[in-house]
Amino acid sequence: MEAIERTLDMSLADAEQAVRAALAAEGFGILTEIDVAATLEAKLGVHRSPLKILGACNPSLAHQALGIDPALALLLPCNVVIERTDDGRTRVAIVDPRALLTAGDVEGSELETLGAEAASALERAVGRLAQ
């Protein structure tokens, strides 16, 4: 899967806070939050390194996408993964909307333009994060 990503020299908590602020600066809000590590521990008794998935959404872009094709709701919200790396850093990866909008039967110049616009906003957000 194609992603927009950056590895940061900060704690998971600090990275999450920075990601939330950077996304907000680009008009994205967080609709969902999944603490994968805590869920696996609680449900399966499995311990793993910290991993969170934030569901980010830019209401304007989502509205445009749904106007083009209501089935695009299947791609919302946009997953943002925050996880600890083996070397103690924090990796931030966001699914590239261009890859999602060109997969399968989802194609067309309106979607390509929308995907590029969403990707640019997400790239700017990741660009705001200190390395």
pLDDT above 90 covers what percent of the chain?
79
Is this prediction's pTM over 0.85?
A: yes
The pLDDT assigned to 109 comes to 78
The pLDDT assigned to 59 comes to 97
Closest by CA position to 82, among listed 34, 22, 27, 131:
34
Secondary structure of the chain: what % helix, strand, coil (to 5)?
A: 50, 25, 25
- Ordered by start, the domain boundaries in the chain are 3-127
Which whole-number Å values give the CA distances from 79 to 88, 99, 109, in the listed order? 22, 13, 23
The whole-number average pLDDT for the span 42-65 is: 96
pLDDT tens-digit readout, 56-88: 999 999 999 999 889 999 989 999 999 999 999
Rounded to 5°, the CA angle 11-6-89 comes to: 30
The pLDDT assigned to 106 comes to 47
User: How would residue 108 be classed by pLDDT, with cut points 50, 70 and 90?
Assistant: low
User: In this structure, which CATH number among 3.40.190.10, 2.40.50.180, 3.30.310.70, 3.30.565.10 belongs to the domain 3-127?
Assistant: 3.30.310.70
The whole-number average pLDDT for the span 35-51 is: 96
Q: How far apart are CA 93 and CA 79, in angstroms?
A: 8
The pLDDT assigned to 1 comes to 76
pLDDT tens-digit readout, 98-107: 888 876 554 5
Q: How far apart are CA 50 and CA 11, in angstroms?
A: 10
The whole-number average pLDDT for the span 43-63 is: 96
